[in-house]
Amino acid sequence: MDNETVVKVPRKKFNSAYIKRHYQLYLLLLLPLIYLIIFKYLPMWYVLIAFKKYSIVQSITEMPWAKNHGFEYFIKAFKNRDFLRALRNTVKLNLLDLLFGFPVPIIFALILNELRLKKFKKVVQTITYMPHFLSWVIIYGLALQLFAPSTGFVNLLLGKMGLEAIPFLNDANTWVKTYIGLGIWQSFGWNSIIYLAAMAGISPELYEAASVDGAGRFQKMWHITLPGIKPTIVVLLIMALGNVIGSGFDRPFALQNKLVMENAEVIATFVYKIGIKGLQFSLTTAVGLFQSIINVFFLLGANWLSRRLGERGIW
Amino acid sequence: MKRRVISLVLACTMAFSLAACSGGAAEAPAEAPANNETEAAAEEPEAAAPEETAEVASELVDGKFPDTRHISVEVYDRGNDGGSDPTNNMYTEYIKKGMLDKYNVEVEFVAVPRWTETDEINNLLAGGSAPDICVTYSYPTVKTYADMGGILDMRPYIDDYKDILPNLWGWLGESNLYWDSDPNDGTTWAIEAKLANMNRVLTFVRKDWLDTLGLKEPTTKAEFHDMLVAFKDNADKLLGKDAGKMVPYSVSYDVGWRAATLIESFIDPKISDKEYYVNGFDDRKLTENGTKDAIKLLNEWYNEGLMWKDFAIYGSGDTTEDDMMKAGYVGAFTHNWDYPFRNGEDSIQANLARLVGPEAKYVAIDPFEDKNGGHTKFLAGPIDRKVFFPATNDEPLASMLYLDFISDPETIQYLQIGDEGVTHNVLDDGSFEIIAATGDAIQNSGMNIDYTITCNGLHLTTDELTKNSLAHSYAGIDPEDVLHANDIANTDTIIGINVKVGDIEAEGGVGETLSAKRDEIYDKAVSAPVADFDKVWEEGLSDYLSAGGQAIIDERTEKWDAQYTSENIR
């Protein structure tokens, strides 16, 4: 389900002498290349399962084609309300993530960049990175301790203050906010690294010149820092858009429960439940293939748009 | 939480195994290195079966294989705190030694996590690496793989080897061996283990709380409700500073199981076999007449603050609720008939005594009256787990002999009670008293049901011995409490019957979807505001029916009518 982003090397004329000279480097490249071929390209052959009646004992070429010219399972999927619900939720949660989650690391990086005290900056950075290394299962454990309706710390505190408990985890709509919020909390520190790196690359002369011209802090941020990291922002935005109907599995799966399925069932968890637990491999491969194709279109679209707007795009 | 971790790992493995299971059949035999002679037979199991019989009869010399065979057997891993290694302990040694001595068959155990067993077995089957003898509670899983050709038809082995399988035939009999047989062609994808003890679900209450408040054990729903209210109103008296943590009545996300006796009390005790069967696809009884009223009552209790508010956000295998029971916060709950007695030193009862005080304990009660004033309990049939052989099993004879060995009364008895002085004492009347074992001798599952895969429930060499020992079979538990629970569990029972109308096609592939929906409906309906209950229930149910539930009901009705002329067949 993950999309491989192919980074192209600037084109060079094919030259065997060149390869001979740098053969060590090519050897080094070989291992990751084999990995990609075995784990990313060979499995693609098996998307055929989406068009065939899957059987564990037959090889992919032996399996009979599905009905309706092989499209039986696609038709089935689009007639399945649970799939449509999962599709809707995937788009909804990802767009919300993009809307609220995307700007946060940029703003955070801007603020961090303004800090003078090196030590303080380091400490803040380290603390905000940390959640990135926690698995979602652990984060859900923390969320239960904090947000459970009757035993969660936050709700106990609210109760002590005479306020109503907030159904962070057990109301479908509030759950969406919890989901987005936890996502931002988990990733903003980590995601800000790349922006900070981009900011470090901006020439200090620009700031000095601006200071001479009498620019204030906000003016410098607006006219120098932001334009300086704009290419980075665009690349990351394209990649995020390319994933708008994709989704990780662990985050929604770890956070969902029976009461919030209305908003929490996404394609990844749907595929797991129906395909892997419910043994409908063909149906869910069809769903997965559909998801990948849409993602590719989003990716191409976003890339095209960014070029139209005068940015570099990612290829 | 554990379930989630495991599920994540599973999902990842699955992603890989889907990619890797290119030529299922072609690869599988290579993965389970076995005898060269039998390898060919494995690839075409059905065709080879009859001819193999003659060949196989001569394969055994004096009832033994001349050369050592190797089989692998699934065993549940329950991940108990301080349990023994499920694949290597005193009992597995006994089995391994027994099989090697008796048949010259080497046995290897493959651990499968109990609470995600279906997922795990799916992965193993799809990856072509399932153990030779598999066990599951989910027949639909077996059926799905059988339809793909991934499972051996056991019927030829059951019938042709009958003479060398006296214990298997003696213990399971035609009833359980043929339980899942196709009425038309006899194919048998799995045999059903026998439920030696059919006790199902009971309600338990804190005896010491009743005593403190001077209450009687409730015998009706109204009295039960009053009791819950009394618990809640006297939380300060009962729990002191922990009053806020009190849960008068607790259920889990699996409401259909955890309120089973309540739900059953709303079903007409005179329900016809046909009606019960037609609506009986869901073993949590979602579509039976009466279930809605039961859940409505639960919903009222929930909104009166009598139930565990957070029940739905903890998933399968989570121990939060058990911990609350152990810590003494839970007043009453409904669960498996021996739930608080299980697990020796780590049982709920033992923990209560340790953490709260020696007088604290749960006793079984029978509070939910049906419309005739009885306390009807609908039991499943005398069946338990389903034992099946995946198509990758290239030692069907050795596997059948294993099933015979494990059904031997002597084997069952040893696995259930272990060694004298280590896991049991012999009482004056000759019956056994189970004592808490340590280390290698710890039974990870009650009476080692994880090893006695053809038997669930205490089953000793004589009925007399079984009866006298049952009360003493829970280490550290007052025998009176066990007997009392056993009596209630046997009150007003209706035993399930085997309805043989052939495959219901509508049931294929929808089991997982429907049971997920069922849990959603139950959880949402119980926790909805009272005013919204009807709406939530009706919306949920109509979604359930249109997602396949109705088609199953219709096909079941149709096939019943085609097979039987009467509404009742007992």
Say whether both B191 and B265 belong to one domain: no
Q: pLDDT at position B43, please?
A: 39
Instruction: List the domain range (segments joined by +) for residue A162.
Output: 70-308
Cα B455–B459–B465 angle (5° rounding)?
180
Top residue of B124, B313, B524 to mutate, by most chain A CBs within 10 Å, is B313
Exposed, middle or buried, A231 (CB in 10 Å: 0-12/13-18/19+)?
Answer: middle
Residues of B in contact with A272 (CB under 8 A): 7, 11, 14
Q: What are phi and psi of B134, to 5 degrees?
A: -110, 155
DSSP state of A135: -
What rounded mean pLDDT belongs to chain B? 87
Mean of pLDDT values over A24-36: 92
The pLDDT tens digits of the residues spanning B345-388 come to: 889 999 999 999 999 999 999 999 999 999 999 998 899 999 99
The pLDDT tens digits of the residues spanning B437-492 come to: 888 898 888 889 999 999 998 999 888 888 889 888 888 899 999 999 999 999 99
- CA–CA distance, B106 with B111 (Å, rounded to integer): 16
Cβ–Cβ of B14/A276 closer than 8 Å? yes
Which chain B residue is nearest to residue A172, measuring alpha carbons? Answer: B524
Say whether both B224 and B122 belong to one domain: no
Residue B57 lies in a domain: yes
Residue written as token pair 């991934």:
B150
Residue B441 lies in a domain: no
Say whether both B127 and B260 belong to one domain: no
Angle between the A172-200 and A81-96 helix axes, to the nearest 10 degrees? Answer: 40
Say whether both B30 and B152 belong to one domain: yes
- CA–CA distance, B301 with B250 (Å, rounded to integer): 11
Cβ–Cβ of A140/B145 closer than 8 Å? no
Residue A231 lies in a domain: yes
Is the pLDDT score of B403 beyond 50?
yes
Say whether both B164 and B206 belong to one domain: no
Residue B421 lies in a domain: no
Residue A13 lies in a domain: no
Which residues, 6+ apart, have CB-to-CB distance to A149 below 8 Å? A155, A165, A167, A168, A169, A170, B309, B310, B313
Q: Quick check: B511 contacting A, CB < 8 Å? A: yes
- CA–CA distance, B368 with B270 (Å, rounded to integer): 16
Exposed, middle or buried, B473 (CB in 10 Å: 0-12/13-18/19+)?
Answer: buried
Residue B241 lies in a domain: yes
Instruction: List the domain range (segments joined by +) for residue B135.
Output: 2-196+386-413
Contact B205, B365 (CB under 8 A): yes
Contact A54, A63 (CB under 8 A): yes
What rounded mean pLDDT belongs to chain A? 88
Q: pLDDT at position B348, please?
A: 95
Residue A142 lies in a domain: yes
Residues of A in contact with B24 (CB under 8 A): 55-59
Say whether both B268 and B294 belong to one domain: yes
Q: pLDDT at position B45, please?
A: 41
Q: Which residue has the higher pLDDT, B329 or A114?
A: B329
Which residues, 6+ apart, have CB-to-CB distance to A131 below 8 Å? A139, A185, A186, A187, A189
Cβ–Cβ of A277/B512 closer than 8 Å? yes
* Cβ neighbours, 10 Å, residue B519: 23
The pLDDT tens digits of the residues spanning B108-165 come to: 999 999 888 888 888 888 888 999 999 998 888 888 888 888 899 999 999 999 999 9
Is the pLDDT score of A285 beyond 60?
yes
Residue A27 lies in a domain: no
DSSP codes, B159-205 = HHTGGG-HHHHHHHHHHHHSTT--TTT---S-EEEEES----EEEEE
Say whether both B218 and B169 belong to one domain: no
Q: pLDDT at position A6, please?
A: 53
The pLDDT tens digits of the residues spanning B42-87 come to: 334 444 444 444 445 568 888 899 999 999 999 999 887 788 899 9
Count of domains for chain B:
2
Is the pLDDT score of B39 beyond 70?
no
State the CATH number of the domain containing residue A274. 1.10.3720.10
Residue A107 lies in a domain: yes
Q: Quick check: B202 contacting A, CB < 8 Å? A: no
Contact B133, B402 (CB under 8 A): yes
Count of domains for chain A:
1
Contact B332, B301 (CB under 8 A): no
- CA–CA distance, B485 with B204 (Å, rounded to integer): 9
Residue B110 lies in a domain: yes
- CA–CA distance, B132 with B87 (Å, rounded to integer): 15
The pLDDT tens digits of the residues spanning A59-88 come to: 888 888 998 888 999 998 999 899 999 999
Residue A48 lies in a domain: no
State the CATH number of the domain containing residue B333. 3.40.190.10
Mean of pLDDT values over B219-235: 96
DSSP, collapsed to helix, strand or coil, labels residue B418 as coil
Residues of B in contact with A254 (CB under 8 A): 4, 8
Give percent of chain A above pLDDT 70: 95
Q: Quick check: B565 contacting A, CB < 8 Å? A: no
Residue A152 lies in a domain: yes
Residue A35 lies in a domain: no
Q: Quick check: B18 contacting A, CB < 8 Å? A: yes
CB half-sphere exposure, B401, CA atoms < 13 A: 28
Residue written as token pair 């096609």:
B505
